[in-house]
Amino acid sequence: MKRERYYLDLFSGIGGFALGAYWAGLRFDKHYFSEIEPYAIELYQKRFPEAEALGDIKNVCYSKLPRGEYLVTGGFPCQPHSISGKRQAENDKRDLWAECKRMLCELQPGMALFENVGGLFTSPGKERKGEYFNRLLSDIHESGYAAEWQVISAADVGAPHKRERVWIIAYPNSKRLPRGQNNTGRIESWSKVKQQLQGFLPPDFGLDISKLQTYRDNNGIPSRVDRFECLGNAVIPQCPEIVFSLPAFDLFREHDPNP
């Protein structure tokens, strides 16, 4: 009997992960998302009207969600690790990686894809360089999962800026290949991602920076700043689209019964 397939989009923002998933042909019986920014929620629900909002990630009760095969995505907050910030890692109140670990332990999804800035590798800084990322990998392992990661930038898929990001795939240890059978890991070789990027023909982004305008009110605060913030926090959907094209995600792909 086929298990139901579900999608849970954590820290969903305006839906970059979800767009990439659907563009890659992934399909689900139910779609959930977690977000707290009002404008992002409004836009997400317009783009994905069938998606069910779960609210603040801290209040999500995974035991109340239906059982089945889950794909979970999450670009957890990058401010604690960004080189443009104070890099306080777990001491930054915006650090919510613990909620990702809780999700892995309680929901036990079939696949999970996480995203963060390149500074994650060296967070929280010179004296404790790399400590946070090592603990993140330990958390994934303690939750019963293996992890593989790759760096993909927005420029790799044709965007007019670099926006380098770390993409981490987590999958159950039961799906790990025996040692020596495939030294690239379970994800059928991340090199395939880079091969696809070399031949990737992205759509025309059509971004003319000279035409961007920022309007200000009398207090000097930009109006419609929620739009800019949402764009700044969003992932380029072509990036997860490339990741989701890997065979490891075929469980969630829509197959033509009559090819």
Instruction: Cite the DSSP H helix spans in 143-190.
Output: none
What gap in Å lies between CA 205 and CA 230, rounded to an integer?
A: 17
Catalytic residue among 61, 78, 230, 239: 78
pLDDT of residue 191: 53
Within a domain: 217: yes
Q: Which domain holds residue 72?
A: 5-252
Q: Find the CATH number of the domain harbouring 128.
A: 3.40.50.150
Within a domain: 258: no
pLDDT of residue 7: 98
Concerning whether 78 is annotated as a catalytic residue, the answer is yes
pLDDT of residue 93: 82
Task: Reduce the DSSP state of residue 72 to 3 states and report it.
Answer: strand
pLDDT of residue 108: 97
Number of domains in the chain: 1
Within a domain: 190: yes
Within a domain: 72: yes
What gap in Å lies between CA 116 and CA 79, rounded to an integer?
A: 9
pLDDT of residue 231: 56
Within a domain: 233: yes
Within a domain: 235: yes
Within a domain: 259: no
pLDDT of residue 87: 72
Tens digit of pLDDT at every position of the chain (259 positions): 678 999 999 999 999 999 999 999 999 999 999 999 999 999 999 999 999 999 999 999 999 999 999 999 999 988 767 777 667 667 678 889 999 999 999 999 999 999 988 888 878 866 678 888 899 999 999 999 988 888 888 888 777 778 888 999 999 988 765 554 444 444 444 455 555 544 443 434 343 333 334 333 444 444 454 554 555 567 889 999 989 988 889 999 976 444 4
Q: Parallel, antiparallel, or unpaired for β 111-117 and 164-172?
A: antiparallel
pLDDT of residue 157: 79
149's CB contacts (< 8 A; 6+ apart) are 166, 167, 168, 169
Ramachandran assignment for 81, one of left (phi > 0), alpha (psi -120 to 50 degrees), beta (any other): alpha
Within a domain: 257: no
